[in-house]
């Protein structure tokens, strides 16, 4: 964008500067006369460029809003499903699963800004934060731990394997939202 402005200013300068000279004064420079059409064409090009840039920014904004909404819906759906499967007397396990879901949403937000370390996830237990230290990406680590915890519901006979497909789809939705938000963030 800056280069287009500099180029336009350079052409205008050449047009105005050379308009002062004639062939009588400097024989090897002929008078360059770009006229008012140059300004019209360059103005139209700049307007077209600005409109396209603004339109793509607007599209990215709305796509980001849709994906953040999908993140909230997917996280809430997963929490409701987990809450319906895990028995009421397993308060520690219920709390761990819900804190992992909340930590995922928080880590996505921080990932889109500057990144996050497991130490910054205060809602998780120290054991979960220590377990996240084994992963290169805290976000993927949270999803993996969450998947393992939900899969353990099958071993505890709280969940039947066909029902786990619904949980797996919710985890896949969370991962898809993360990929979409990353694409939006890193696309110029």
Where along the chain do its domains lie? 2-50, 59-186
What pLDDT digit, counting tens, does each position of 111-153 carry?
888 887 878 888 888 888 889 888 888 899 999 999 999 999 9
**First CA to last CA distance, the chain:** 13
What pLDDT digit, counting tens, does each position of 122-132 carry?
888 888 888 98
Question: What pTM was estimated for this model as a whole?
Answer: 0.70
Helix, strand or coil, per DSSP, at residue 96: helix
**Of 82, 129, 138, 143, which Cα lies nearest the Cα of 110?**
138
* 33 dihedral zone (left: phi>0; alpha: psi -120 to 50; beta): beta
């Amino acid at each position: 964008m800056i280069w287009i402005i500099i180029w336009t200013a350079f052409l205008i300068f050449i047009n105005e500067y050379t308009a002062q000279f004639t062939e009588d004064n400097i024989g090897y420079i002929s008078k360059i006369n770009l006229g008012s059409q140059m300004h019209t064409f360059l103005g139209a090009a700049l307007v077209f460029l600005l409109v396209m840039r603004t339109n793509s920014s607007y599209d990215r904004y709305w796509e980001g809003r849709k994906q953040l909404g999908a993140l909230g819906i997917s996280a809430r759906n997963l929490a409701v499903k987990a809450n319906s499967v895990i028995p009421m007397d397993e308060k520690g396990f219920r709390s761990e699963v819900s804190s992992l879901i909340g930590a995922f949403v928080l880590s996505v937000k921080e990932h889109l800004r500057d990144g996050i370390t497991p130490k910054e996830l205060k809602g998780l237990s120290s054991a979960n934060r220590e377990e996240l230290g084994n992963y290169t990406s805290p976000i993927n680590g949270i999803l993996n731990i969450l998947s393992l915890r939900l899969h353990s519901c099958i071993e505890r006979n709280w969940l039947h394997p066909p029902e786990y497909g619904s949980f797996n789809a919710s985890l896949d939705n969370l991962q898809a939202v993360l990929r979409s938000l990353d694409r939006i963030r890193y696309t110029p």
